[in-house]
Chains A and B, each alone.
Chain A
């Protein structure tokens, strides 16, 4: 059982931005889905995932980068070749 507070914490960890009015329905849906996921408790077996491909690597060779204008093209704000982002400090 998760509570509205749990869902709020998960939303915080996910940095997803949740509205207060969404909290109730999200919590109900979460509980229904997590109840269904409980079937996994019955899973038996070994943990290791078998992957048949390994050592997929490339040689250390320089390839063409994108032109700077292509890099900046999709960015909303740019300044002297940099991309502008919200402050972190």
Chain B
């Protein structure tokens, strides 16, 4: 299969990569010879995969994730593994055990997270496209902060097989690139049914972006322009939506009342699932060794204390608490009801409009170290998590700047209408260029 080889020697001054594959074999196909970066929570056979965590240092998967299989089959060259917030837990890529990634637009700022390495690698021109993962905004946030395009596909459209789970019910692998066309091209390669993922749908993506959006109706939720959103970011986004109206779309105001508790529902759900997902890292089968001279629980506790960063341990504890007897009903069960309500809100709005638009992030990229308090960091996800709770597709496309930093326009679509959000982003990209 590996008929050719791509030499890849990036100048990684932003710490975008955790592993660089300097000689990347590739075959012929749709992506022949294109260097594609892969987020380090996606399993790559024979290439260290750490989730930016010390607890997986040295782990070399004996198998490829389904999307990596597909990349290889399409001729792509795996350029390397990109930096991220440890296990995807963060909004800045500062939570990497191997140092933060810097934002190529301003190296005093974060690239966003958790797919910050993938976004920075693209923004810096090191690769043309990359894979990210999006649990609560982890593709769209860094896309917005770094001024690139990122798509969070409909849940089930891209196989998660081989994606090291953080919050299974929320996350999707998705394409990131400098342009909507490239995002769409990469989506063609990675979408489709996989029998190894029981939540996978047989909905391949064969679409080529079409900029014609005449007659399109766009819902504008008031919550995306209210308190907590930087007015300058809101303004830039509104202007972008106006450009879409100029192209023949109609904007309609709407409301997502469940936004009130969406973020809480999101954090309860993701930390609960994470507390279970991350328990397997015990230093027995892989990862830095557990001390076999100690007793099991002592050794296990020590592996986890030493191997996980503070944010990961905080979320494991939160999730453990939310699932514990006596609190399950108050937290986990309530969060699931809240989640259904978010889905219902979206379904109601989508019965009247084709897509929903708003800013991707409430602000521009933070300064490094700015978000030291966990809760204030969580609050930054408020505009991206509803999409994950509802399992719908959403794309972030650059739509202007504030203080010289990029702002992302977020287009959210109906389930399995990934093509439509791509078209809207493409239409905007064409007029903005």
* A–B interface present (Cβ within 8 A): yes
A86 CA to B373 CA in the complex, in Å?
37
A66 CA to B302 CA in the complex, in Å?
29
A33, A40, A75: the one contacting B285 at CB < 8 Å is A75
Chain B, 309-332, contact with A by CB distance < 8 Å: what is the 0/1 string? Answer: 010011011101100100000110
Let me know if B14 is at the binding interface, CB within 8 A: no
A77 CA to B286 CA in the complex, in Å?
10
A37 CA to B374 CA in the complex, in Å?
13
Chain B residues with CB under 8 Å of A46's CB are 337, 340
Let me know if B265 is at the binding interface, CB within 8 A: yes
A88 touches B261 (CB 8 A): no
Contact A36 to B264, CB < 8 A, known contacts A10-B321, A14-B316, A86-B300: yes
Let me know if B301 is at the binding interface, CB within 8 A: yes
Contact A74 to B60, CB < 8 A, known contacts A45-B340, A86-B290, A86-B292: yes
Contact A13 to B324, CB < 8 A, known contacts A39-B264, A42-B261, A76-B283: yes
Let me know if A47 is at the binding interface, CB within 8 A: yes
Chain A residues with CB under 8 Å of B265's CB are 40, 43
B295 touches A33 (CB 8 A): no
B320 touches A10 (CB 8 A): yes
A36, A56, A71: the one contacting B198 at CB < 8 Å is A56
Contact A43 to B267, CB < 8 A, known contacts A29-B374, A74-B287, A85-B296: no
Chain B residues with CB under 8 Å of A86's CB are 290-296, 298-300
Name A's interface SS.
mixed
Chain A residues with CB under 8 Å of B330's CB are 40-41
A33 touches B284 (CB 8 A): no
A49, A70, A76: the one contacting B289 at CB < 8 Å is A76
A15 CA to B201 CA in the complex, in Å?
36
A75 CA to B288 CA in the complex, in Å?
9
A26 CA to B321 CA in the complex, in Å?
13
Closest-by-CB residue of B relative to A87 is B295
A87 touches B318 (CB 8 A): no
A22, A45, A53: the one contacting B201 at CB < 8 Å is A53
A56 CA to B202 CA in the complex, in Å?
12
Chain B: residues with Cβ within 8 Å of the partner, total of 68
Chain A: residues with Cβ within 8 Å of the partner, total of 47
Chain A, 3-41, contact with B by CB distance < 8 Å: what is the 0/1 string? Answer: 000010011011111110010001001101100110111
B195, B198, B279, B284: the one contacting A85 at CB < 8 Å is B284
A47 touches B331 (CB 8 A): no
B260 touches A19 (CB 8 A): no
A7 CA to B373 CA in the complex, in Å?
18
Count A/B pairs, Cβ under 8 Å: 151
Closest-by-CB residue of A relative to B307 is A17
Let me know if B378 is at the binding interface, CB within 8 A: yes
B292 touches A43 (CB 8 A): no
B295, B300, B334, B373: the one contacting A40 at CB < 8 Å is B334
Chain B residues with CB under 8 Å of A66's CB are 62
Let me know if B268 is at the binding interface, CB within 8 A: yes
Closest-by-CB residue of B relative to A42 is B261
A30 CA to B316 CA in the complex, in Å?
12
Let me know if B199 is at the binding interface, CB within 8 A: yes
Contact A15 to B301, CB < 8 A, known contacts A37-B264, A49-B336, A85-B296: yes
Closest-by-CB residue of B relative to A11 is B317
Contact A10 to B341, CB < 8 A, known contacts A40-B331, A74-B285, A83-B285: no
A5 CA to B291 CA in the complex, in Å?
28
A58 touches B195 (CB 8 A): yes
B292, B339, B375: the one contacting A32 at CB < 8 Å is B375
A10 touches B317 (CB 8 A): yes
B286 touches A15 (CB 8 A): no
Let me know if B335 is at the binding interface, CB within 8 A: yes
Chain B residues with CB under 8 Å of A37's CB are 264, 267-268, 331
A13, A16, A48: the one contacting B305 at CB < 8 Å is A16
Q: Which residues of B361-412 are within 8 A (CB) of A? A: 373-375, 378
CB A84 to nearest CB in B, in angstroms, measures 6
Let me know if A62 is at the binding interface, CB within 8 A: no
Chain B residues with CB under 8 Å of A29's CB are 314, 373-375
Most buried by A among B261, B275, B279, B304: B261
Add 5 more A-B contacts to A74-B59, A86-B292 (CB < 8 A): A10-B317, A13-B324, A16-B308, A26-B317, A73-B60
13 A-B pairs with CB atoms under 8 Å apart are A16-B320, A18-B313, A32-B375, A37-B267, A40-B338, A46-B337, A49-B340, A53-B201, A70-B62, A73-B62, A76-B288, A85-B284, A86-B296
